Structure 1
Amino acid sequence: MSGGTEQAAALPGLDAPAMGPTGRPLQEFPVPAPLTGHGPARIIAMCNQKGGVGKTTTTINLGAALAEYGRRVLAVDFDPQGALSAGLGIENHEATTIYDLLLSSKRDTREAIQHSSVEGLDVIPANIDLSAAEVHLVSEVAREQILARVLRQVSDDYDLILVDCQPSLGLLTVNALTAAHGVLVPLECEYFALRGVALLKETIDKVQDRLNPALRLDGILATMYDSRTLHSREVLQRVVEAFGPSVLETVIRRTVKFPDASVAGTPITQYAPEHSASDAYRQVARELIARGAVA
């Protein structure tokens, strides 16, 4: 052997580190220390204009995992489909919803907050009424900042507010990005999901430039990953090549446990607490804390 690197690799006890799905060495993120106080909340928009990539699943399970670590979390259902509300077993038909708060500046945000089955995880629900919000808000003064006003009322009560955006780049999503401190992008390991990321990044940059200079990309979370398929591995490799350290180390693998938990109206961390999917979302929570995206 001629190279020093080759000699070092041959020495006993200097085995190469185990590699994760992202092609980088596997990392373990420490269990976070308990907080001594709560608030003001950091707001993260869960955003991707493509549907079915895991935004709602991530909002539910990341929120539940962070609540397990003693964080006070408010999840805001900002999608007219109301999937977040349903996935946490929250009443959204006769209840006060985010739509009511957006349309009336006199409403107290606390009127809409409901407690989930997870201690420390609260929800502001949504239903199909929210689909009319963009029409009503388009003539409002400072229409991009209405959600920020709504959330400002309760910011001191929480450590984190997660906004589950609808799959579009319309006025509601711009409201979420204007209110947020950070953006987390769940990205399905599939080619067509990858194609839309450039457009999303362009929207984030515009909001950052014109409405919210403090906005930052907290990370891209690869979801629905299946290591058995070459396609999944190739898409993940391309995402890492394009976005580098913005891609979280933790990868969410495809499993039937997620839809099962959704039907049960409970997070995976409660439905199957020992399952690898629960461990993955706990690791996402620890990673975001380690990155400084969450207190």
Structure 2
Amino acid sequence: MSKVIALANQKGGTGKTTTAVNLGIGLARQGKKVLLVDSDAQGNLTDSLGYQEPDNLPVSLASVLTKIMTEEPYEANEGILHHAEGVDLMPGNIELSAIEVSLVNTMSRETILRTYINTVKDRYDYVLIDCMPSLGMMTINALAAADSVIIPVQAHYLPAKGMTQLLQTIARVRRQINPRLTIDGVLLTMVDNRTNFAKDISFVLRRDYGDKLRVFQAEIPLSIRAAETSAQGKSIYAFDPNGIAAKAYQAFTKEVQDIGEKRRAKQHQADLGR
């Protein structure tokens, strides 16, 4: 049974794309089949996996979504790229900006991405959607398509206000479009453990939100090596396998996998009870 996870935060620079890459490849290293979906018009996920001219790719997520909106046929594996570290990628590029505008006048506009995900997800154990840094129509589509959300939060500022807005949007999507949507948790990123400020933010986040939702035990440290991986088109495991960031992403991947296994076991029990 496949699990679809959206990585979302309307604030940019939270390590969302780096987390998508390293979680996806971390799961692939555990023998899981993983599809990464770049739903951001900036194409940062595509770029981070070594496809440095995403706007020049002949087929992208925008191409497939256009076919769905115009009811043209498409192949399930159309446009999917294969990365050397064992993950598949549905690339994103600037054409998604036009899609976001077009969706406003499209029937079933919140579920166009879900239509695509439903055609491919049975081939994978995990589908990870890297969202735009906004709460626009593409992010709503990602939340409508997902089983759960992971929220990466930068530990350099108090995230309460932005978190509240995102949580309200997730709750609205759950009520109106996707009742099965859950929040897997909040991931603290770019944590500078040398400063009391980062420790204070970790404490405040766990105090204010810990009773409402999971704050992952793993925290991703501030690491120049992790930032450099994007330019290399590799994961932290290939670039700096023994570094602190690789160990942190490994621990985070295990937490995500444990959540996935519990969900599968629960679903299995529910199926047996029918």
1:14 is aligned to none
**1:281 is aligned to 2:242:** no
**SS of residue paired to 1:246:** coil
1:259 is aligned to 227
1:247 is aligned to 215
1:153 is aligned to 119
Partner of residue 84 from structure 2, selected from 110, 117, 120: 117
Structure 2 residue identity aligned to 1:114: L
Residue 158 of structure 2 contacts residue 201 of structure 2 at CA under 8 Å; is this kept in 1? Answer: no
1:72 is aligned to 33
TM-score by length of 1: 0.83
Structure 1 Cα separation of the partners of residues 40 and 159 of structure 2: 19
2:58 is aligned to 95
**1:48 is aligned to 2:9:** yes
> CA offsets per residue over residues 94-131 of structure 1, 9 Å max, x none?
33100111111222241111001212x11000111111
- Note the 1:179-198 alignment, pairs <5 A: 179-198=145-164
1:231 is aligned to 197
**SS of residue paired to 1:154:** helix
Partner of residue 46 from structure 2, selected from 85, 95, 103: 85
The structure with more radius of gyration: 1
**SS of residue paired to 2:77:** helix
Residue 88 of structure 1 contacts residue 117 of structure 1 at CA under 8 Å; is this kept in 2? Answer: no
Residue 3 of structure 2 contacts residue 260 of structure 2 at CA under 8 Å; is this kept in 1? Answer: no
Structure 1 residue identity aligned to 2:33: R
Structure 1 Cα separation of the partners of residues 31 and 247 of structure 2: 16
> CA offsets per residue over residues 244-279 of structure 1, 9 Å max, x none?
151000000000002211111111111111112111
Structure 1 residue identity aligned to 2:92: A
2:98 is aligned to 132
2:271 is aligned to none
Residue 47 of structure 1 contacts residue 55 of structure 1 at CA under 8 Å; is this kept in 2? Answer: yes
Structure 2 Cα separation of the partners of residues 226 and 94 of structure 1: 37
CA deviation after TM superposition for structure 1 residue 192, in Å = 4.8
Structure 2 Cα separation of the partners of residues 258 and 193 of structure 1: 22
Residue 96 of structure 1 contacts residue 112 of structure 1 at CA under 8 Å; is this kept in 2? Answer: yes
> CA offsets per residue over residues 132-180 of structure 1, 9 Å max, x none?
1111111111010000101111111100000000100010000000000
Q: How many residues align?
A: 255
CA deviation after TM superposition for structure 1 residue 280, in Å = 1.0
Structure 2 Cα separation of the partners of residues 280 and 191 of structure 1: 20
Please identify which structure carries the higher helix content: 2
Residue segments in structure 1 that go unaligned for 5+ positions in a row: 1-39
| Alignment RMSD (CA, Å) | 1.4
TM-score by length of 2: 0.90
**1:204 is aligned to 2:170:** yes
Structure 1 Cα separation of the partners of residues 100 and 257 of structure 2: 34
Residue segments in structure 2 that go unaligned for 5+ positions in a row: 265-274
**1:175 is aligned to 2:136:** no
